[in-house]
Amino acid sequence: MSDRPLIQLTLARLREFVREPEALFWAFVFPVVMSVVMAVAFPARGNSPVVIGIAAGAEAAGVRAALAAEPAITVRDVAPGSEQRALREGEVHLIVVPTMPPAYRFDPGRVESRTARLLVDDALKRGAGRTDPWTATEEPQQIPGSRYIDWLIPGLVGLGIMSTSMWGIGFSVAQSRMRKVLKLLVATPMRRRDYLGAQMLARLVFLAPEVAVPVAFGVYVLSMPMRGSVTALVIVSVIGALAFGALGLFVASRARTFEAISGLMNVSMLPMWLLSGVFFSAANFPATVQPVIQALPLTALNDALRAVVLEAVTLRGIQAELWTLMAWGIGSFAVALRIFRWR
């Protein structure tokens, strides 16, 4: 075993980490749980049935029979007086009032309700004896990588890299400061950059499972495509982890209490949770704020991860994102080293 200070400091950090079960949970189990929850909440597009409510009325039986012939439609009775609630909660997508001709009650602002209107209208008219001029041939396509979950997993990986890097470093540094370990260390000949460098190196060791577990779960359980090279994925992850590790050091460079470090961590990460395209595309935000969003490190990391995983883009194709991450990393480390509070 080498007795170089950088290696000993890194080992110390790793030992503290693996001896802390909660930290392991957040790093490894949380991303998987998150992926499963998302897979359940957002099933593949087009498979969800259209739910139609039938109000009380003279033609109710006929309407029910006509709708039953359409396999994509599920029929549910709606008690009088609860129609508004059923529509609002999404229990039914559309309510048919069985008069002749019938009336449709639905919210045209909802995509599912507009789909339901087309299906119901078609089924009822066909049931009433309409003949179609022709029937098109349907050629269903399964395009891998086009589902929401495929888009989401790389974002969760990016989010995981950011959270574990920043919390992992921030809390450990703040705790060492509070327990006066930092003060004791600077009373020894230890070089300060070795301490900061060891914090970041230790992050890299745990990066492998942090990225590999959710990606493998996505590929093998949720059939997410992995189109780019594993090497590119590794390089993007390492650069991302170093950038966020350095940012974590910067955020933790002055904090002296857990309250302070928690507040600073949340203030710095929350905007990226929302803006950087983790759960929904960053393109939803207006053009005027796009320059800011594109400059955020998590946006760069997520864009790079998705480009590699879903579009097989090479490192050359994502060099802008990689430069953004490196600029954040180098800038944060340099400032942290200057303003770091050691006592």
Partner 1 sequence: MSVAHALRCRDLRKQYGDVVAVDGLSLAVHRGECFGLLGPNGAGKTTTIEILEGLLPPDAGDVEVLGMSWRTNEPELRQRLGVQLQETQLPDKLTVEETVRLFRSFYHQGYAVDELLGMVELEAKRTSWVVKLSGGQKQRLALACALAGKPDVLFLDEPTSGLDPQSRRQLWDLVRRVRDSGGTVLLTTHYMEEAEILCDRVAIVDHGRVIALGTPHELIASLGTVKAVTRHGTLEDVFMGLTGRHLRDE
What residue ranges bind partner 1 (CB under 8 A)? Answer: 3-5, 7-9, 11-12, 15-16, 19-20, 176, 179-181, 183-184, 186-190, 343
Nearer to partner 1, 15 or 193 (CB): 15
Handedness of CA 81, 83, 86, 89 (dihedral sign): negative
Judging by DSSP bridges, how do beta strands 94-97 and 103-105 pair with one another? antiparallel
Residue with tokens 């600029």: 327
Question: Other C-beta atoms within 10 Å of 222: how many?
Answer: 18
Shortest Å, Cβ 187 to partner 1: 4
Q: CB 186 → partner 1: shortest distance, Å?
A: 7
Shortest separation between residue 193's beta carbon and partner 1, angstroms: 13
Cβ nearer to partner 1, comparing 19 with 316: 19
Tokens representing residue 298 in the block: 């998590």
Query: Dihedral through CA 291, CA 293, CA 294, CA 295, nearest 10?
Result: 90
- Least distance CB 341 / partner 1 (angstroms): 13
User: With respect to partner 1, which residue has the nearer C-beta, 188 or 284?
Assistant: 188
The CB-of-194 to partner 1 minimum distance in angstroms stands at: 9
Sign of the CA dihedral with 270 first, then 272, 277, and 278 last: negative
Cβ 108 to partner 1 shortest distance, Å: 60
Q: Nearer Cβ to partner 1, position 76 or 180?
A: 180
Q: Which is nearer to partner 1, 221 or 339 (CB)?
A: 339
85 or 343: whose CB is closer to partner 1? 343
Q: In what side-by-side order are the strands of the sheet with 50-54?
A: 73-77, 50-54, 94-97, 103-105
Closest approach, Cβ 14 to partner 1, in A, equals: 11
Positive or negative torsion for Cα 30, 35, 36, 41 = positive
Please, what is the Cα angle at 183 between 178 and 185, to 5 degrees? 120
**CA–CA separation, 62 and 207 (whole Å):** 61
Please say which residue, 5 or 145, places its beta carbon nearer to partner 1: 5
Contact 120, 94 (CB under 8 A): yes
